[in-house]
Amino acid sequence: MENNNKKTKSYDYQNRRGVEKISWSQFVQLYETLVELLEKENLDLIVGVARAGLFPATAISCALRKELYPVRITRRINDVVQSERPVWRVDIPATVAGQRVAVIDEIADSGETLAMVASRAWERGASHVVTASLVSHSWANPKPEYTALTSDALVLFPWDQRVYIDQTWQVHPEILSALKNQEIRKSQ
């Protein structure tokens, strides 16, 4: 996929190249990579982007022995995309004032969510802000300062691969749809 400085739309799965299935053990390797990169930032606290960004943010905050403050900024309600742009649901606390902060999410797709959270941390008086994600797409703009893996594949995280619907475990419907879109693209 060519970026050509165009803003890539989130959840546009037709443009993914292949599938990157992340296991729990690979998740551990990825967050440990971020811990090693972030350690040199001499951070005071971690801001984790809920929901899925709390997986790496929690692991990183435990490993670095720093406080974690979750925020919620999302395009979704009950796992269904409701808006084109991220909407604030739980804001950054005033606690970031004067602190060295890492904003962490699981993936930088468009880059918009991390940028919005970092901007809010600066507005709230943070003395230093860096962004990090387990995975980043090459077209993320802006890119996180730190990422453990760059992949333009459809990334399947272990916590999203199966969901509980109608009293049965099923492949996440969004994943099924994304895989179908990739198959359609391949056949064209």
CATH of the domain at 35: 3.40.50.2020
Domain assignment of residue 85, given as a range: 16-157
Q: Does residue 178 form part of some domain?
A: no
What six digits make up the tokens of 159? 């916590």
Q: Does residue 174 form part of some domain?
A: no
Q: Does residue 117 form part of some domain?
A: yes
Q: With the CA atoms of 144, 98, 47 and 102 taken in that order, what torsion angle do they form, in degrees rounded to the nearest 10? A: 30
Q: Does residue 140 form part of some domain?
A: yes
Q: Does residue 31 form part of some domain?
A: yes
What six digits make up the tokens of 64? 């670095």
pLDDT in tens, the chain (188 residues): 333 333 445 556 666 778 999 999 999 999 999 999 999 999 999 999 999 999 999 999 999 999 999 999 988 888 788 888 888 999 999 999 999 999 999 999 989 999 999 999 999 999 999 999 999 999 999 999 999 999 999 999 999 999 999 999 999 998 888 888 777 566 66
pTM: 0.88
185 C-beta neighbours (distance < 10 Å), count: 13
Q: Does residue 6 form part of some domain?
A: no
| Number of domains into which the chain is organized | 1
Q: Does residue 182 form part of some domain?
A: no
φ/ψ of 85, rounded to 5, equals -110, 150
Q: Does residue 176 form part of some domain?
A: no
Closest listed residue to residue 47, CA positions, set 119, 142, 135: 119
